[in-house]
């Protein structure tokens, strides 16, 4: 099937992203790793965390010196299954990829592996790293601190991390279970998308410094609005999202002995569990298929055609976009064209 008119070929987009990163000093192997993760994010329909952030986010971080293009990551460990990695201020994709590989390596040897990471940077969508465990018949876990942007229950202002928790679990014939969630009502990237598309945010996403609801994304940025924790206000369960965010803080930051900063966006946590340490992987996958099918057979509400478990919708989008291409917003395409001009590389998308 040919690339749909107006869409971007994912192979060409991966190549363009790789060349852009190499141009600002990222080594070729690390550039390819980063590009593949970014494009994989867009392929799965997570448009808030992929290539749209390339020009004005990741490339800019390297150019401004906030990210070390050639990190010398180091591992510290006092036990077979656990370790701390220092990311040497590296690009989060590179550090995350290395750390998850380390967790998987340890899991292969002793059944489980966990790596807490300090001194890294933003690593995009957390599900990408958890999913690295799937091909090894393992359960993958990844968490990260996304920078202060949540308002803690009973407070005002941005004072808690927009943290992420991701879990990937293999199945047999069915799609793997992939949970990839922010601990806020929505990820901050969703606000970016509403801004990009000229839309208003739904009520209940964010509040201003005065504690009142904000639905205009422009005002959200101008006034320093904050996202509500998962669950919303305290009376509707906001302490659950807040508690999950603090849990991620502990595993990413406190456990890695990271230095305290105001932004909190450079610490991660990764885990891998060998399924055959509990039961044969094939039997487990059959049980996962049964679980997914049991959910799919539930009585549907009026107007609902299909029930999904986490990860299934993204898998369907990925299959379609691999053949039809990735639909990037015109403003994103414009940013990539400008980036090509600034870096002096060919724009061939």
pLDDT in tens, 25-59: 999 999 999 999 999 999 999 988 999 999 999 99
Give yes or no for residue 183 having a pLDDT over 70: yes
Task: Tell me the pLDDT tens digit for each residue of 147-163.
Answer: 899 999 999 999 999 99
Distances (CA, A) of 74 to 135, 151, 216: 25, 34, 43
Higher pLDDT among residues 263 and 196, named by residue: 196
pLDDT at 266: 87
Confidence band, pLDDT 50/70/90 cuts, at residue 304 = very high
Give yes or no for residue 310 having a pLDDT over 60: yes
Mean predicted confidence (pLDDT) in 290-303: 96
**DSSP conformational letter for 3:** P
Q: Which residue has the tokens 């107007």?
A: 303
Global pTM?
0.94
Q: Which domains does the chain have, with CATH numbers?
A: 10-278+327-343 (3.30.1370.60)
Among candidate residues 169, 119, 204, the one with its CA nearest the CA of residue 291: 169
Residue 349's contacts (CB-CB under 8 Å, 6 or more residues apart) are: 8, 9, 12, 13, 16, 333, 336
Q: What is the mean pLDDT of the chain?
A: 94
Task: Tell me the pLDDT tens digit for each residue of 241-265.
Answer: 999 999 999 999 999 999 876 554 6
pLDDT at 189: 86
Confidence band, pLDDT 50/70/90 cuts, at residue 6 = confident
Mean predicted confidence (pLDDT) in 53-79: 95
């Amino acid at each position: 099937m040919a690339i749909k008119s107006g869409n971007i070929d994912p192979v060409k987009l991966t190549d363009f992203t790789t060349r852009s990163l190499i141009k600002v000093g990222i080594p070729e192997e690390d550039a390819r790793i980063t590009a593949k993760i970014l494009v994989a994010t867009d392929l799965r329909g997570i448009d808030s965390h992929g290539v749209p952030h390339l020009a004005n986010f990741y490339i800019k971080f390297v150019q401004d010196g906030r990210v070390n293009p050639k990190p010398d990551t180091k591992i510290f460990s006092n036990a077979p299954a656990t370790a701390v990695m220092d990311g040497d201020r590296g690009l989060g994709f590179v550090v995350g990829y290395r750390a998850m590989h380390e967790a998987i390596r340890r899991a292969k040897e002793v059944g489980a592996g966990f790596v807490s990471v300090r001194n890294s940077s933003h690593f995009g969508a957390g599900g990408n790293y958890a999913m690295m465990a799937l091909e090894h018949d393992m359960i993958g876990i990844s968490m990260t601190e996304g920078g202060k942007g949540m308002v803690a229950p009973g407070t005002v202002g941005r004072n808690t991390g927009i943290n992420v928790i991701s879990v990937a679990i293999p199945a047999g014939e069915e799609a793997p279970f992939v949970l990839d969630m922010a601990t806020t009502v929505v990820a901050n990237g969703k606000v970016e998308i509403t801004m990009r598309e000229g839309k208003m945010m739904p009520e209940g996403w964010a509040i201003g410094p005065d504690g009142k609801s904000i639905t205009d994304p422009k005002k959200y940025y101008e006034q320093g609005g904050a996202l509500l924790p998962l669950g919303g206000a305290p009376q509707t369960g906001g302490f659950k999202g807040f508690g999950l965010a603090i849990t991620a803080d502990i595993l990413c930051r406190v456990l890695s002995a990271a230095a305290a900063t105001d932004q909190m966006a450079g610490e991660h946590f990764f885990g891998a569990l060998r399924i055959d340490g509990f039961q044969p992987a094939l039997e487990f996958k059959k049980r996962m298929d049964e679980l997914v099918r049991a959910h799919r057979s539930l009585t549907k509400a009026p107007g609902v055609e299909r029930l999904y478990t986490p990860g299934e919708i993204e898998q369907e989008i990925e299959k379609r976009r691999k053949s039809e291409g990735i639909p990037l917003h015109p403003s994103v395409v414009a940013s990539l064209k400008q980036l090509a001009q600034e870096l002096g590389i060919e724009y061939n998308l």
